């Protein structure tokens, strides 16, 4: 006949293994989230560099024709 302490020991071991699995899953999910965040940040940097509105707004304009203001003749 088994004693009650054997059941307690089995419950303790089972509970400890369950907690370890939960901790391991949590660490794996955190690592996956960190990896996703790094990829997301990298993609945002690429998009910002490629489609920067400042480049469009402050784009240099090279006129092919002469200016429309009359030229000043030196006195």
User: Is 64 inside a domain boundary?
Assistant: no
d(CA 56, CA 18): 57
User: Is 20 inside a domain boundary?
Assistant: yes
Q: How many domains does the chain have?
A: 1
User: Is 44 inside a domain boundary?
Assistant: yes
User: Is 73 inside a domain boundary?
Assistant: no
User: Is 11 inside a domain boundary?
Assistant: yes
Burial status of residue 39 (CB atoms within 10 A of its CB: 0-12, 13-18, 19 or more): exposed
Query: Over the stretch 1-59, which tens digit does the pLDDT of each residue have?
Result: 467 788 888 999 999 999 999 999 998 888 888 888 888 888 877 766 665 555 556 55
Is the whole model's pTM more than 0.85, yes or no?
A: no
Domain carrying residue 30: 4-57
User: Is 26 inside a domain boundary?
Assistant: yes
């Amino acid at each position: 006949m088994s004693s009650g302490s054997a059941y307690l020991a089995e419950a303790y071991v089972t509970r400890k293994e369950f907690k370890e699995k939960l901790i391991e899953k949590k660490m794996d999910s955190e690592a996956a989230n960190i990896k996703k965040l790094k990829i997301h940040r990298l993609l945002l940097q690429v998009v910002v560099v490629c489609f920067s509105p400042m480049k469009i707004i402050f784009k240099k304009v090279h006129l092919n024709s002469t200016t429309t203001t009359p030229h000043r003749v030196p006195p």
